[in-house]
Amino acid sequence: MLWIKSFHIIFMVTWFAGLFYLPRLFVYHAMSEDPISRERFKVMERKLFFGIMTPGALLTLAFGLWLWLGYGFHGDWLYAKMALVAVLVVYHGYCGKLVIEFKHDRNRHGHVFYRWLNELPVVLLVVIVLLVELQPF
C-alpha cells in the first residue's frame, strides 16, 4: 500500500500545482494587451489544464479512492475532507470553463477577480491537510 500512497501524493501535488498556477495565468492573460501574448496564454492554459491538471486530478481521485477502500478510513473528518475535495473538483471544472472562455476571447473578469480566485485552493488545501493530520472528529 505504500506505493499507492506515494503515487497518490505525486498526482495530488501535480493537480494542486495546476490549481495554483492556472489562475495565475488567468491574471496575466487578463492583463495582456497584445494579440501575441494572448495567444501564448491560450496555449499555456490549454496545455496546463488538459495535459497536466486534469490527468493529475483524475489519478488523484482514483488513488484516493483506492486508499480509502484499502485502508477503510472512517470518521466525520473523512466526510468533511471528501466534501472539500468535491469543492475542489467543482473549482477545477470552473477553471476549465474559464480556459474555454479565454480560448474564445470571452473573458468577462479583470485580473483582480483571478487573483482572488487563486486563493481558494490554498485555503482548501490547508483545511484538508489539517483534517487529515488532526482527525478532529
**The pLDDT value given to residue 67:** 85
Number of domains, the chain: 1
- HSE-CB at 50 with a 13 A cutoff on CA atoms is 10
Q: Give the pLDDT band (50/70/90) at residue 125.
A: very high
pTM: 0.93
**The pLDDT value given to residue 104:** 98
Count of H helices and E strands in the chain? 6, 0
pLDDT digits (tens, 9 = 90+) for 11-42: 999 999 999 999 999 999 999 999 999 999 99
Query: Which range of residues forms the domain containing residue 45?
Result: 2-134
The answer, yes or no, to whether residue 74 has pLDDT greater than 90, is: no
Enumerate the H helices of 47-136 as residue ranges: 54-71, 76-103, 111-117, 120-134
